[in-house]
Amino acid sequence: MKNKFYITTPIYYVNASPHIGHSYTTIAADCLARYMRRCLGEKNVWFLTGTDEHGQKIQRAAEAQNLTPQEFTDKMVLQFKDLWSGLNISYNDFIRTTEERHTKAVQRVLDILNKKGQVYSAKYEGWYCTPCETFWTQMQLADQNCPDCKRPVEKISETNYFFKLSQHQDWLIDYINNNPEFIRPASRYEEVMSFLRLNKLTDLCISRPKQRLSWGITLPFSPEHVTYVWFDALINYISAVGDFDREGKYKSEWWNSADVIHLIGKDILRQHAIYWPIILHALEIKLPKIIFAHGWWMTGSDKMSKSKGNVVSPLDMVDRFGIDAYRYFLLRDVPFGLDGNFSQKSLIKRLNGDLANDLGNLVYRTLTMIEKYFSGRVPEAKPTTKDSQEKDIREKIQQLEKKLSATLTIPHFNFSAALENIWEIINMANKYIEDTKPWNLSKENKIEELKGFILVLVDCIECVRETIAPFMPQTAASIKIQLGSRQIKKGKPLFPRVDLEPNT
C-alpha cells in the first residue's frame, strides 16, 4: 500500500438532476477521502469528482429546453455543485468534460493511439441504442430491443473509427488474474472474468459522425467526427491530474505516485474494468490500484433511476432529516457492494435508534452529568483502580483504529462494518452508565469514583467523535464544540427523534 491516495467518483451525466444513487458514490468517496486524510495527512489525498457533459443525451436534453448544450450544461452543473456542498463533500477538484484541460487531453490520447496504430476506420452497420449510446449486433438484440435497457434501437450505417480493444483481451485476462484485488468486490471480479472468458471482445467504436451528433470532442484526425462519450469520459481520471509531454508520455504526480481508487456503481463496471484498463495499457500508463463497484439503491424491485421515474432527491432528505443522518444511513444500512432498498421508514429507524438513542443520548447524558456533578467542567484525571467494565471499554477504544483500518482500507471499503465497530463503543458506554448508576455514587459522595466514571465516558465520546468524523463531519464538529476543552458547552441533543408518519 502506498501512502498517497487518489480517489475518484464517476463523472455524472448532467442531463437530469442528481438523485440518491449519485449521492451514494460521492458520499462514499468523501468518507474514504476524509478517512485517508486522517490517517495520512491532508496533502496525501486527492479526491476528484465531476460531470460528463457530452453526448446525445445531453444534446437532446438541451434541445428540449431550447438551450445550447453549453448553456444547458453550465446551468445543470450548478445543481451538482450545490448538492455536493449541501452534503459536505470535500472534493479537491471538480472536472467538467467541456473544460479545455479535458478536451485537449482527449484529443491528445486519440492522436497518440492513432499514431501507435491502435485506431482504424471502417464502415459500421448495425443497431444503435441512443439512451445507452451503444452499438449492438443483430444477434445481441433482445426481441429487437436493446439488451441492456430494453428500449427500441435504431438501424445505423456509417463510417466510424474503432479502437483495437480485441487485441488486448488476453493481456487483460492475465492482468486481472495476476491482480485479484483489481476489481472488487469479489463477485464483480468474477463477473468480469467470466465475461472475458465467454465472449470475444469486439473493437470499440470511438466516434460518432457529426451529422448525427455534434455535441462532443472533435477527433483530431477527422473533423467530421466527434469522440464517443464513454471514451471521452473515462479520460477525465487522467486529464484532471496530469498532462502528456511531447513524446506522448503521461506525466502526473498523483496518477503515478498514488494508489488510484475508482469508486463506481455496478452499472458501469464493463467500461471501467475492460475499456479503461485497455486504453491505459495501450497508452503505456499504469493501471489504477482498484476499481470498486458498489450496488444499487432500489425502490421496490427497480433500480432508482430517472428513466424509471422513481428517484428521490437527496436535498429533500437532507432538509427533512439532516445531512449526517442521511450520510450515516447510506453508509450504514447496506454493506458496500450490495444492493439496498431505500425507504424513509428505514432511514427514520436508524435515525431514532442508532443516532438519537445511542449516540445522541450518550453525549447528552454525559454532558448533563458533567453539568450536574462537576459544574460543567470535565474533572481532572486521577488514576483509580479500574473495574472490569472500564477495562473492557478501554481495550475496545485501543483496538478501534486497527479495526477501522482493517475494514476501511483497500480492498474492503466496508463502511457499515466500520460503523458497527464504532457503535460497539457507544453501546458499551451506554451500558456502563446504566450499570454504574452514577446518581447513587453522587448520593454516597463517592466523588473520585464519579470522576473516574465520567472520564471513561469522555474518552469514549472523544474516540467516537474522532472516528465518526469521516462519516458525519458536522456531528463530529458539534460534539467538539459541546465538549469544549474542559469547560463544556452543552447544546441541544445531536439528533432529535423523528415521528414515523403512516405514509413513510
Which residues contact ligand MSP by CB under 6 A? 10-13, 21-22, 24-25, 52, 233-234, 236, 264-265, 267-268, 296-297, 303-305
CB 23 to ligand MSP: min, Å: 9
Q: Closer to ligand MSP at the Cβ: 26 or 160?
A: 26
- Give first-to-last CA distance, the chain, whole Å: 44
Q: Closer to ligand MSP at the Cβ: 82 or 174?
A: 82
Report which secondary-structure segment, H or E, holds 119. Answer: strand 119-129
Distances (CA, A) of 478 to 374, 482, 492: 21, 6, 10
3-state secondary structure of 117: coil
**For 131, how many CA atoms within 13 A lie in the half-sphere containing its CB?**
14
The alpha carbon of 4 is separated from its chain's Cα centroid by a whole number of angstroms, namely 18
CA distance 271 to 204: 11
Q: Closer to ligand MSP at the Cβ: 217 or 397?
A: 217
CA distance 302 to 158: 35
CB 125 to ligand MSP: min, Å: 27
Q: Closer to ligand MSP at the Cβ: 268 or 455?
A: 268
CB 419 to ligand MSP: min, Å: 19
CB 487 to ligand MSP: min, Å: 44
Q: Closer to ligand MSP at the Cβ: 30 or 390?
A: 30
Q: Are 393 and 379 in contact (CB under 8 A)?
A: no
* DSSP secondary structure string for all residues of 3-19: S-EEEEEEEEE-SS---
CB 266 to ligand MSP: min, Å: 7
CA distance 220 to 212: 18
Q: Are 165 and 204 in contact (CB under 8 A)?
A: yes
The total of other beta-carbon atoms located within 10 Å of residue 39's CB is 17
CB 303 to ligand MSP: min, Å: 5
Q: Closer to ligand MSP at the Cβ: 299 or 409?
A: 299
CB 358 to ligand MSP: min, Å: 27
C-alpha cell at 58: 445531453
Scanning the structure block, which residue is given the C-alpha cell 473495574? 387
The total of other beta-carbon atoms located within 10 Å of residue 74's CB is 15
3-state secondary structure of 402: helix
List CB contacts of 248: < 8 A, sequence separation 6 or more.
108, 112, 115, 283
- Look up residue 359 and give its DSSP letter: I
Taking CB atoms, the residue at the shortest distance from ligand MSP is 21
CA distance 342 to 351: 14
CB 197 to ligand MSP: min, Å: 24
CB 241 to ligand MSP: min, Å: 14
Q: Please name the residue ranges forming H helices in 168-283.
A: 169-178, 186-198, 229-234, 236-239, 253-257, 269-270, 276-282
Q: Closer to ligand MSP at the Cβ: 338 or 481?
A: 338
Q: Closer to ligand MSP at the Cβ: 268 or 433?
A: 268
C-alpha cell at 14: 448532467
C-alpha cell at 423: 457503535
* DSSP secondary structure string for all residues of 265-292: EGGGHHIIIIIHHHHHHHTT-PPPSEEE
Q: Closer to ligand MSP at the Cβ: 234 or 351?
A: 234
CB 325 to ligand MSP: min, Å: 19
Cα dihedral angle (268, 269, 273, 274), rounded to 10 degrees?
A: -70
Q: Closer to ligand MSP at the Cβ: 22 or 168?
A: 22
Q: Closer to ligand MSP at the Cβ: 104 or 396?
A: 104
C-alpha cell at 203: 473493437
Q: Closer to ligand MSP at the Cβ: 58 or 464?
A: 58
Identity of residue 158: E
The total of other beta-carbon atoms located within 10 Å of residue 382's CB is 9
CB 133 to ligand MSP: min, Å: 10
CB 486 to ligand MSP: min, Å: 44
